[in-house]
Chains A and B, each alone.
Chain A
Amino acid sequence: MLFDWRKRRLIRFSSKGVWLIVLCAIGAMADQPIAFPHNSHVKLGLDCLDCHIGADTRAAAGLPSVRKCMLCHAKLAKEKPEVQKVIAYANKGIEIPWVRVYDFPSEAHVKFRHAPHYQAGISCSTCHGDLTKETVAEHTVTHTMGSCLTCHRQKHASEDCAACHF
């Protein structure tokens, strides 16, 4: 991957190594509109699925709409500055413009679905890191085709290219 560092600007010329770097960079730099503390929500007993409701049955885990945030925050912790930002969005009727942390670049042509991975018993932290320790989500786990394939081999999942790339 190292040989490509100069090409970072040329995303269209990138090979796999490059986009990983670009992604890591984006992930690390991700300036979220609200400093959402995952750890404190998890501590309160919330499950990942409570907010990312699609993870078990759908392709996309999904982000909760601001309405969902307001179910609790209409009453709870209203005084905190970050929560006030949430309330501001809710009042304006605009969805919070979260910055995506994990994504597959379009060049990879991956059609990832959460559901089968969840159903296969892969825990969220395998791919997304230990969110009990993170505040704002960061790109902590690097995904390469190698890491995907290693797991697929271990779990005897399909290794057909067209299982993911089409």
Chain B
Amino acid sequence: MNQSNQTQHRWGMAIDSDRCTGCQACVAACHAENNLPLSDAESAARGRAVHWIRVDRYYEGEFPDIRVKYMPVLCQHCDEAPCEPVCPVYATYKNPEGLNVQVYNRCVGTRYCANNCPYSVRFFNWFDPVWPSPLDLQHNPDVSIRMAGVMEKCTFCIQRINRAEREAKEEKRPLADGEVQPACVQSCPAEAMVFGDLNDPESKVSRLAESGRSTRLLEELGTQPKVFYLQRAT
């Protein structure tokens, strides 16, 4: 919107299943970055634990010829996101940079978006979050603390994107490929995750998205996800 003089980004991610070890560093990094509400045993048992990114694990085959598949699943920031049209108040929408944004202050909590998300990556704030003091000192001031009654989900660390874009603008230079890294991508020890601009054909993520191993999750639904999964080579 009115940013025609700037290059428009289209953020996307590639996850290399061949590199992913399932170590869940991304999960913890996301918790640290995004002020995710803390669960306790009771709320976790009631299905209220929040992990914006999770590592799905599926066992394949039977013992002894069994293997396990680890698959980090986060908001796919679909181009044709099923969650967007169903929100009655526009609390979730596609922003100019292709992010699927959840506007907490606009959300009234119909939870329709969550039902319509085939990836089940949307989470709801059933209660106001609590952190036993002084755990709250850790809160990232760049990220909202969500109150009861609103949806939340992976933002592709929009606060990091905004910060990087701002700094680039202040320094009057274009954003370099790899300069913006969501917390999960930043943390990944095996460097299985790559984040970048899909509008830039030279970016690492664009090249990976074009590679032969690239697939997308539930692609058949036509959601046009912007997270690309590179299949395991064997």
Contacts and interface: CB of A to CB of B under 8 A. Distances in A.
A touching B, CB within 8 angstroms: yes
Interface of A: 12, 106-111, 116, 156-162, 165-166
B142 A159 contact: no
Contacts of A159: 1-2
Contacts of B93: 161
Contacts of A111: 142, 144, 159, 162
Given A160-B1, A161-B93, A166 B155 contact: yes
Interface stretch (B51-59, B103-111, B175-183, B202-210): B103-111
A30 B185 CA distance: 45
10 contacts: A109-B103, A109-B146, A111-B159, A157-B2, A158-B1, A161-B101, A161-B103, A162-B101, A165-B103, A166-B158
B88 interface: no
Interface centre among B1, B93, B158 (most CB of A within 10 A): B1
A108 B101 contact: no
A157 B6 CA distance: 13
Given A111-B142, A156-B2, A157-B2, A162 B103 contact: yes
A12 to B, nearest CB: 8
B144 A166 contact: yes
A162 B147 contact: no
B96 interface: yes
Contacts of A106: 144-145, 147
**CB-based closest 5 A-B pairs:** A109-B144, A162-B101, A156-B2, A161-B103, A109-B105
Contact of A158 (B3, B103, B105, B106): B3
Nearest to B159: A166
A160 B95 contact: yes
A62 to B, nearest CB: 14
B99 interface: yes
Contacts of A158: 1-3
A114 to B, nearest CB: 13
Contacts of B96: 160
Nearest to A119: B170
A166 B165 CA distance: 15
B125 to A, nearest CB: 12
B143 interface: yes
